[in-house]
Amino acid sequence: MNTLITLLKQKSLTIAVAESCTGGNLSALLTSQSGSSAYFDRGFITYANQAKIDMLGVKPTTLDKFGAVSEQVALEMARGVIKNSSANISISITGIAGPTGGIKNKPVGMVYFGFCTLKRCFTSIKQFSGNRAEVVRASIDFVIKTLVYELSE
């Protein structure tokens, strides 16, 4: 985490996030250090589909066609964060932390991520194992590692 914060500060970047299955835990971690206002712009906790629509501009047709846990929604969420914040880096997280809610093609532990950096917007999918807290923690760890990699290039 310290490496990510150092990179954000060195590059004068700000970050904003949209969280669904992590329920604000990434935002809490990013703001847990004094001086976080230098790099953290805001967090959207968009657990409900209507929140994704209202706060981030996710299209209802995208939700209907692909579901909230999808690459398409993760990307629209990340782009919505950029549009509705002052940040130049965005992250979105949408998935099924469990222990219920999974289905055959979207099992518990499946999480989609959206990222927008200065260079590009992209998505990623991960299948984590463990209980709800472990899926949330693994999701946050993945975001941090991905951003450190992207910002180090």
Q: What digits encode the pLDDT tens for the residues 96-126?
A: 999 888 888 899 999 999 999 999 999 999 9
Domain count, the chain: 1
- Tell me which amino acid residue 42 is: R
Are 147 and 89 contacting, i.e. CB atoms less than 8 angstroms apart? yes
Residues ≥6 apart with Cβ < 8 Å to 122: 114, 115
Does residue 150 sit within a domain? no
Cross-strand partners of 89: 15
Does residue 67 sit within a domain? yes
Does residue 66 sit within a domain? yes
Does residue 138 sit within a domain? no
27-75 pLDDT, tens digit per residue, is 999 999 999 999 999 999 999 999 999 999 999 999 999 999 999 999 9
If we measure between CA atoms, which residue out of 41, 26, 119 comes closest to residue 86?
Answer: 41
Domain interval for residue 26: 2-6+14-127
pTM: 0.97
Are 104 and 65 contacting, i.e. CB atoms less than 8 angstroms apart? no
Rounded distance between C-alpha atoms, residue 50 and residue 46, angstroms: 8
CATH at 61 = 3.90.950.20
